[in-house]
């Protein structure tokens, strides 16, 4: 062996220092150490069960891996050194502690399936963290929606006032986006639930391995169907990165609204000082910088997806070292999503809704013009004709500086001859909201339905997360289970 690399028997000279540094990944893939150690414990347990490793050797390996895992978890052991990657670091550390037996751990395994299993375990753990953040933000927004069911404001299209809605209905639209994000994140979590252990370098193994047992020990739902695909697959990485990007895009849209609504021009909300910042030169300023930065974070996540797609698009089967470049992009997406959710929750809880300003904005935009058209349609006027007649009424009201509901019946009928005696009742903003009683609409009973659905779905997500303990607890249980089953 040349130097301390795992493949030195084939080579006569040591690796060039520049190439060693260029190809090394330990500075960033060392965050996979827990997951690689867990996967190594499972692999060693399987080797023992199948008789591929002796009881004596497997006892030493399992004990050594457990000791390393415990020291890493408690911070007594630092993942650092001259090693090429975290996988090499684990093997070197194990051999230093248990001797020749440690060199047997890699039996029936390649760094190709080893890398895949560690990364899958890591992705699933981080996605659970992110899903907890999604549930937290949904809780914050649904709580506010429940509080503001009777607050009305303009709904916008093209950033122009369109029709009146309730603030609850508006907030629940963001909850619906987060629901879609949770579904994508859960799907990415499921995609990561396939164990590649046993696929080897690309062609499986000549030993009587049991990949199903490894998957079961690691809490994964299934194992691979094709060994070449297993080591060359990074779809789960792309799925996770895309789910994070979509989440960040939705957070960006919500953050943009925060920025817009706290301007003097809108004034719909105020921000607590704890989530706002000032200006270095303008003492009066109170800037929503956290929301602006949150809006900007989506660019990173989008860029990471683009980079990952470009990375894998032309790679031949099976494993290629290009895959080393997936980790920093993936890690950044996961970190950014997790951190952004924490910031979003803090911002959401610090919003003060100025309901008087919102309700004042119901005037000045002819927001119930569609209600007037619908009123005429119910009285037999074709919609396109009603649309034209109401347009004339709008122009007349604007010229007079009035709202539609301020026009007297005679004036309304000069444009809309079929207007009924009760037309003004239909033109009130609260009546307009109540009239929009179609499924998913802003009518009070429909908003209540949406609230109940959102609370039920968030509760189900939280229950799912409760059934999957946080990473350190899960690792401790798995470590204990592997050792209890593996050692006599």
- What pairing do the DSSP bridges indicate for beta strands 160-166 and 194-195? unpaired
Query: How many other CB atoms sit within 10 Å of the CB of residue 65?
Result: 30
The vertex-215 CA angle with 214 and 217, nearest 5°, equals 65
Catalytic residue IDs: 158, 279
The vertex-315 CA angle with 313 and 318, nearest 5°, equals 130
């Amino acid at each position: 062996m040349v130097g301390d690399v795992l493949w030195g028997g084939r080579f006569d000279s040591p690796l060039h220092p520049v190439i060693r540094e260029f190809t090394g990944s330990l500075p960033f893939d060392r965050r996979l150490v827990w997951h690689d150690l867990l996967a190594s414990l499972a692999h060693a347990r399987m080797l023992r069960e199948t008789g591929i490793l002796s009881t004596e050797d497997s006892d030493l390996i399992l004990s050594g891996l457990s000791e390393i895992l415990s020291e890493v978890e408690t911070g007594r052991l630092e993942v650092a050194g001259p090693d090429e990657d975290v996988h090499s670091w684990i093997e070197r550390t194990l051999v230093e502690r248990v001797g020749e037996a440690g060199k047997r751990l890699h039996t029936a395994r390649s760094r190709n399936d080893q890398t895949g299993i560690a990364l899958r375990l890591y992705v699933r753990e981080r996605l659970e963290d992110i899903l907890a953040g999604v549930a937290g933000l949904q809780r914050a927004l649904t709580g506010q929606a429940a509080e503001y069911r009777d607050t009305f404001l303009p709904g916008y299209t093209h950033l122009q006032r369109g029709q009146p809605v309730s603030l609850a209905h508006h907030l629940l639209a963001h909850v619906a986006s987060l629901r879609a994000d949770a579904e994508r994140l859960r799907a990415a979590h499921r995609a990561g639930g396939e164990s590649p252990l046993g696929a080897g370098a690309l062609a499986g193994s000549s030993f009587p391995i049991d990949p199903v047992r490894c998957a079961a020990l690691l809490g994964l739902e299934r194992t691979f169907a094709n060994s070449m695909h297993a080591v060359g697959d990074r779809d789960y990485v792309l799925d996770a990165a895309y789910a994070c990007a979509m989440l960040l895009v939705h957070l960006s849209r919500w953050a943009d609204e925060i920025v817009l609504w706290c301007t003097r021009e809108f004034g719909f909300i105020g921000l607590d000082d704890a989530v706002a910042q000032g200006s270095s030169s303008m003492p009066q300023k109170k800037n929503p910088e956290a929301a602006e930065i949150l809006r900007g974070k989506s660019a990173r996540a989008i860029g990471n997806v683009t980079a990952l797609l470009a990375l894998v698009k032309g790679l031949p089967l099976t494993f290629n070292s290009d895959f080393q470049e997936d980790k920093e992009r993936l890690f950044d997406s996961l970190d950014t999503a997790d951190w952004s959710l924490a910031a979003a929750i803090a911002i959401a809880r610090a919003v003060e809704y100025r309901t008087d300003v919102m309700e004042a904005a119901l005037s000045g935009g002819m927001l119930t013009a569609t209600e007037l058209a619908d009123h005429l349609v119910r009285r037999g006027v074709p919609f396109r004709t009603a649309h034209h007649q109401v347009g004339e009424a709008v122009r007349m009201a604007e010229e007079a500086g009035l709202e539609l509901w301020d026009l007297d019946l005679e004036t309304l009928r000069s444009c809309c001859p079929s207007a009924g005696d009760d037309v003004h009742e239909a033109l009130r903003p609260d009546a307009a909201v109540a009239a929009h009683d179609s499924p998913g609409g802003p009518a009070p009973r429909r908003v209540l339905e949406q609230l109940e659905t959102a609370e039920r779905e968030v509760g189900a997500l939280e229950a799912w997360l409760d059934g999957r303990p946080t990473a350190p607890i899960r690792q401790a249980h798995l470590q204990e289970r592997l050792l209890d089953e593996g050692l006599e």
